Amino acid sequence: MTSNNYQSISLSDTTIPKVNTLTMFRLGLFNLGIGLISVLTLAVLNRVMIAELGIPASIAAGVLAISQLVSPTRIWLGQLSDGKKLFGFHRTGYIRLGVIISGIAIFFAIQLVWLLGSNIIINNGWQWNNVTIFVSILLAIVFVVQGIATGACSTPFTALLVDISDEDNRSKIVATIWSMLMVGIVIGGISGKILLNNLSGVEGKGIPLATLQAPINGIFLVVPIIVVILTLVATWGVEKKYSRFRQRSSFQDREEGVSFKKALKILTSSRQTGIFFSFLVMITLSLFMQEAVLEPYGAEVFNMPIGDTTLLNSFWGMGILLGYGTTGFFVVPRLGKNNTTRLGCILVALSFGLIIFSGLTQTPSVLKGAMVLFGIAAGITTIGAISLMLDLTVAETAGTFVGAWGLAQSLSRGIAIAVGGWILDLGRFLFNNPWLAYSLVFVCEALCIIGAIALLNRVNVQEFQATTRKATAMVMEGDLD
């Protein structure tokens, strides 16, 4: 092992190969699958629950948010992948098992939504009764399972990217793989447009439950199967061939690695951890508060059919894909990670103003253009932030650190989804105007991104690395004693 822990020699004295471009794209198939799943939950499911079945936005957003609110388990799952192999691998086994469980949970979730819809029809509207309470609790439990399963695959996957990358190719790997996430969202949005475009209801009412069930059940069955297949292809042989985990780790001769307690000590050793954690929270709040209300915004303010509101994700996805592709290869090398992230935050704030303006003029083309701009801004922000995130790790506890950053993103994303629904309901209570109610959500997001910029100015990677390396050395000495 070399002195810097990042250029390693394998046990056979041959250099571990660098990840080539084809492997980057193959790894991206995992994120493509995650993009498809996200369209199911936060483009189709939320629209069906709120706009078609008449489930209150706060209830619908709340149950969807639960899958994110279990994100504290990501720290434990990340540490588990650091120290314990599953099916012979530190990362790959967790990734595959998590995807399978997540797909099963998604299919069960839509079946419970149909039960809620049937109860709404019987009672001629939403009512709190034994059925709605029991089914809502079951739906929440399903999303708890789905959230834990998602953490079990996404946290080790991101840690795998740390394991297989070096400083000189890390931003390219991030840009390529996260671009594939957006490809998945675009494909999901376009597929939803094609498959659901013929669904229509009576004006002023949602689409009948009987009309919705068959096509949506088919999508929620087939897509998870496709995602499992994509994950198997994406991860096949990658960890075995490219991982530098064992060579980088100071604990390579001790298979148990760092205990969870000691990993937490390293995690909390630098004040930069708290600063960057808070920064990720603010960014995620600003990007995802609208996630559960965007499609209903298109339905209520612009009178868009369900296929067109699903397609909004594709406009956003195309924009973010453009932002991802240009940022990792061109913007970050020229501006640096901090300045790139700051530029993205400013553009995000401007895009929310355009989204609000599109509703004022009720011009769908302006909304679509605003979503493209929002996607570009979010792409720049995300690649900059993720590149910083992967720098803020320690080899011995990469999974733990990634779990912490995943906790910040998932917890705040869950809070953002729920708060978005609550703010929308508050706006409806305060204003007798749908546009004003939805605009309140977008204004709150703009304020969050301004707060994120203030925190970004305090992030210092060099301070973090110096502090955590010292803490790691102290843990090692204590372990040896």
Give the number of C-alpha atoms closer than 13 A to the C-alpha of residue 146, restricted to the C-beta side.
Answer: 27
Q: Which of 17-31, 167-181, 185-199, 430-444 has the lowest mean pLDDT?
A: 185-199
* pLDDT tens track for 323-362: 887 887 788 878 888 888 999 999 999 999 999 998 888 8
DSSP state of 20: P
8 A C-beta contact, residue 180 and residue 29 = yes
Number of domains in the chain: 1
Q: How confident is the model at residue 5 (pLDDT cuts 50, 70, 90)?
A: very low
8 A C-beta contact, residue 251 and residue 399 = no
Identify the pLDDT of residue 54: 78
Among 128, 281, 115, 89, smallest CA distance to 209 is for 115
Residue 211 lies in a domain: yes
Residue 5 lies in a domain: no
- CATH number of the domain encompassing residue 431: 1.20.1250.20
8 A C-beta contact, residue 440 and residue 290 = no
Identify the pLDDT of residue 442: 92
Residue 389 lies in a domain: yes
Residue 249 lies in a domain: no
Residue 7 lies in a domain: no
| Residue 426 tokens, joined | 């508050």
Identify the pLDDT of residue 399: 66
Q: How confident is the model at residue 4 (pLDDT cuts 50, 70, 90)?
A: very low
Q: Mean of the pLDDT values across residues 211-231?
A: 87
Residue 239 lies in a domain: yes
Residue 292 lies in a domain: yes
Residue 124 lies in a domain: yes
Identify the pLDDT of residue 292: 73
408: containing domain: 21-243+254-480
How far is 226 from 229, CA to CA, in rounded Å?
5
Q: Mean of the pLDDT values across residues 408-416?
A: 75
Q: Is the pLDDT confidence value at 253 over 50?
A: no
Identify the pLDDT of residue 268: 67
